[in-house]
Amino acid sequence: MTFPSTTSSSAGTAPGGGRETFLDRLGIPHVLRWGFLGVLVFMTGNGVESNFVSPHIATTLGGDDPTALAATIIACYSAAVLVGSYLAGALSDLWGPRRVMAIGVAVWVVFELAFLGSLQLGSTPLVFLSYFFRGFGFPLFAFAFLVWINHVVDKERNGTAVGWFYVMFTGGLPTLGALVARFMIPGFGGGYLGETWAMLASTVIVIAGFLIAWFGVHEEHGSRRLAPAGESSAGVVLAGVRLTFTNRRIAMGFLTRLINTAPEFGMFIILPNVIAGSVADGGLGWSQSQWLLMTTIVYAGNILFNAAFGALGDRVGWVTTVRWFGIVGSAIGLLLWWYVPHMVPAGSDWGFAVAVAAGTVFGIMLAGFVPLGAIMPAIAPEEKGAAMAMYTTAAGGATFLGSSVVAIVFPFAGNVGVVWAFVLLYACAFVMTFFLKVHQPRLHGPVLESADEAA
């Protein structure tokens, strides 16, 4: 049994009509091509600060425990990301993805400027508020576009299309964002002032990404209501929550995606002070520039494999790919990224290269979770919008979970305790994949077969 996508196409025909192009065959809908680029540029701007904002906030506000204060502020920001991620799916169903993307960029820019102003004032309450509200911005933009993708692409290529979305998403946050920061910070004079100007310049990059998507994509699903005509606005907005409580597989998929990238965001908080900290203070003696370079390389590996694991899931099974590559592989990679840098000489060049290689294993294996973006709507094909609302909620909620684990575990178990808490969460996700039964269409040459990916 197969479930049709919202927009179906015959062989040789692109989504939305017209002849299939090279991009369509790769898994990128040609009609959405500029949107993919817009997401890459937007998320690059969003990712500029990702690897230094925690120590930057701590330096600005000070206090008895500035690291814990910064972690708490970022956890509050992450809570806004979680809520914004749900709204991205629900409001896209209600208003269309284009409008939601526009709201996202407006929120991001306004509250980024407010956040920078609050830092200059040194006001802890204003920093809390402005950074919290800025958290709504990027999920409204990026995940509204993911909803758009799921309403355009054919289901048998859904895993590949979601993979390409994450190529762009992770390509910006943190990969190119960290690379841009590595050159911007010294370019603006280095140190605290260089970081401030880099964050201000990131606003220009974010706006550029929005303009690329806004003027480059005109596909019809973006500008119209995607939910059924007879459903009330409240029903559309609350559909994802209702579906989660009535469909156990959706709940398991939600929790698995929530765990997926939580360690990524947790490591952004604890690793800057470890990798780039002085040996005298318990760090490993490398520089901020080297830490930013490490992040760029680690997640460049993720970029290279996002599309590959999406395509692999389309071929060998979405659940199989998530379970063995995403969960088991990421748990092993996370342990390598933590322990290998501590096993090599602190501050050494060859040790840095080995540490980067270990971290890259984690970055690559994170891509194994990509097929979850195809699994969730396939579980509830008649309520695709609600399923995608929960998927985007979990994707954004990973930021909240990652920072919350740090805020809760770090005070009594330290950095090592945080790492093992994430490994335990991966073990929970492994068990949950045995509940993710989904009917998956597959491409075997020109033949479309149905396969039950029951665990």
| Radius of gyration over every alpha carbon of the chain, rounded to an integer in angstroms | 21
pLDDT computed for residue 455 by the predictor: 35
CA dist 46 and 42 (Å) reads 6
Q: What is the pLDDT of residue 15?
A: 62
**Alpha carbon distance 286, 273 (integer Å):** 10
Where does the pLDDT of residue 5 fall: very low under 50, low under 70, confident under 90, or very high at 90 and above? very low
* Entry pTM: 0.79
Q: Tokens for 101?
A: 């993307």
Of 34-43, 67-76, 253-262, least confident by mean pLDDT is 67-76
Please name the residue that has the structure tokens 């201000």.
Answer: 200
Among the residue ranges 90-94, 335-339, 360-364, the one predicted with the least confidence is 90-94
pLDDT at 205: 98
At 180, is the pLDDT very low, low, confident or very high (cuts 50, 70, 90)? very high
How far is CA 187 from its chain centroid? Answer: 28
Return the SS3 of 449.
strand
Greater model confidence, 230 or 121: 121
Distances (CA, A) of 131 to 44, 112, 151, 208, 392: 18, 7, 32, 21, 20
Query: SS3 for 130?
Result: helix
Question: Residue 9: is its pLDDT beyond 60?
Answer: no
Nearest to 374 by CA among 253, 258, 259, 263: 253
Mean pLDDT along residues 214-239: 86
Mean confidence (pLDDT) of the chain? 88
Distance between CA atoms of residues 22 and 13, nearest Å = 12
Q: What is the pLDDT of residue 32?
A: 93
Give residue-wise pLDDT tens across range 139-171. 999 999 998 998 888 777 777 888 899 889 989
- pLDDT confidence bin for 402, thresholds 50/70/90: very high
The residues, ordered by sequence, that sit 6+ positions from 87 with a Cβ below 8 Å of its Cβ are 100, 136, 139, 140, 237
What is the DSSP pairing of strand 439-444 with strand 447-452? antiparallel
Inform me whether the pLDDT recorded for 449 exceeds 70.
Answer: no
C-alpha separations of 122 from 126, 298, 421 in Å:
8, 33, 33
